[in-house]
Structure 1
């Protein structure tokens, strides 16, 4: 960390990445390492794949859980959100835990159902790769670096109402 608050990270695949200091602080929670919920016909499942980025902001986690309940699959592979310090190496475009990455399914129809669920639960931008059938996913945009995972980002927290326990 630099004196001005910028955070720098170096890794083997993408080299050196710099995260400029933001304004204020972001609330983050640590996600469960996996989730297996099946009750009254509602299925919410995920496991992590090849990622230690297991932190997110509470609102995005709520949206992710909602999308998983809508999707109803038991084989969702999350490839990460952000680290405890709010960085998201190797990406510099999605710090602060407001985005979720997931592994692709083998068929366009299944992946489209996942995209639709993420959109319904207020992830505004869904980024995908450009090979195979990926460009046919309705409601997505191409972004480099997404050939091996789908990126659901820019969660719209303005649609949420926070209910505080008394």
Structure 2
């Protein structure tokens, strides 16, 4: 219970305290661009679903988003100048209380009446303790958000609340617990439900859930910079941005294990759970990542390149295995020569190369697969 109550009480700087330049409020400006990109991603997914591929139609739809956000940002600047700045009362009241308390102290020293009431102070730095309203609902009403808890030791739990908060019925939250027992909220993502596919993109009777990885385009970095994860590049002309939610938890865990903010994401499935070219890329359970470059920029990297970071790739493959990948089947790579040793093969992979026709290669990307869904522990809160 003490731990639960601890989550209810949070100390932070009041929204009614700010410097003259409104630095804190100006940070919101960056969120407009993030929101715009999220809306564009949703629109592109909708256009894909409708089969609209003409560039001029797609550009028109995205230009409308740009214009709308330009208008919203303009209104926001007026809001800050005309309403928020005049309403910042905290600093003025705190200073007045400090002066009043000084006067009150001087008077009380000269007054023998010990029943004189004393003023309480607002903090001069604008910080105070508050009750977290969402946490209040989460812990005491039983309502909350379905949440994946990813632990540094490889454990993954999916917590399902008794009741889902209104507006979060189709959302999953992802949380990481690091080795120092610090909790990192990675984000809340929209759950896309579509028909499951069999190999060959044959629709099935049941549905599957998918997460659009592009919603994680900004990645995550902790306030101290010690915990981070991000895809440096997204590389799919066929918009294969969709991954199974359980698999996403396993992928995030592996990335956070190495603080990887340098991966190149080539894709899993399309919005309708279909594969493109590779038949195994269905239902968001298998996908491609670029091999890791010493430049740490998500660039195209072949196994034969001098910039291929063998050691870091081996660490990442181990992390993938730790968080559930390559358990039910090995991942796909190729034999290559490393330090004059031919037929070198990365950990937890098998050689997958076939000559045309109907051939395939894996010298320029790692195919991750074999996720063990039994690793996910379902917890009913």
Smaller-chain TM-score range?
A: 0.7 to 0.9
1:162 is paired with a residue whose SS is strand
Q: Distance in 1 between matches of 2:218 and 2:288?
A: 16
Q: Distance in 1 between matches of 2:374 and 2:200?
A: 28
Is the CA contact 1:48–1:80 (under 8 Å) kept in the aligned structure 2?
A: no
The answer for the alignment partner of 2:334 in structure 1 is: 129
Q: Distance in 1 between matches of 2:283 and 2:370?
A: 10
- Return 35-44 or 75-84, whichever deviates more: 35-44
Please give the TM-score of this superposition, normalised by the length of structure 2: 0.37
The answer for the alignment partner of 1:10 in structure 2 is: none
The answer for the alignment partner of 1:149 in structure 2 is: 365
Give the direction of change, closer, same or farther, for the CA distance of 1:156–1:24 in structure 2 (3 Å limit).
Answer: same
The answer for the alignment partner of 1:36 in structure 2 is: 219
1:26 is paired with a residue whose SS is strand
Q: Distance in 2 between matches of 1:48 and 1:54?
A: 12
Deviation, 1:33, is 5.4
Query: What is the aligned counterpart of 1:26 among 208, 216, 228?
Result: 208
Larger Rg: 2
Provide Cα deviations, 1:86-121, integer angstroms capped at 9, x if missing partner: 112011023110123210121211110111111111
Please give the TM-score of this superposition, normalised by the length of structure 1: 0.79
- Is the aligned partner of 1:83 residue 2:285? no
Is the CA contact 1:129–1:148 (under 8 Å) kept in the aligned structure 2?
A: no
Give the direction of change, closer, same or farther, for the CA distance of 1:139–1:79 in structure 2 (3 Å limit).
Answer: same
Instruction: Flag structure 2 segments of 5+ consecutive residues without an equivalent.
Output: 1-198, 293-307, 354-360
Q: Whose helix proportion is higher, 1 or 2?
A: 2
2:344 is paired with a residue whose SS is helix
Runs of 4 or more off by more than 6 Å in structure 1? none
The answer to which structure, 1 or 2, has the higher relative contact order (CA under 8 A, 6+ apart) is: 1
The CA RMSD over aligned residues, in Å, is 2.1
Q: Distance in 1 between matches of 2:208 and 2:272?
A: 9
Q: What is the total number of aligned residue pairs between the two structures?
A: 149
Q: Distance in 1 between matches of 2:252 and 2:279?
A: 24
Q: Distance in 1 between matches of 2:284 and 2:264?
A: 17
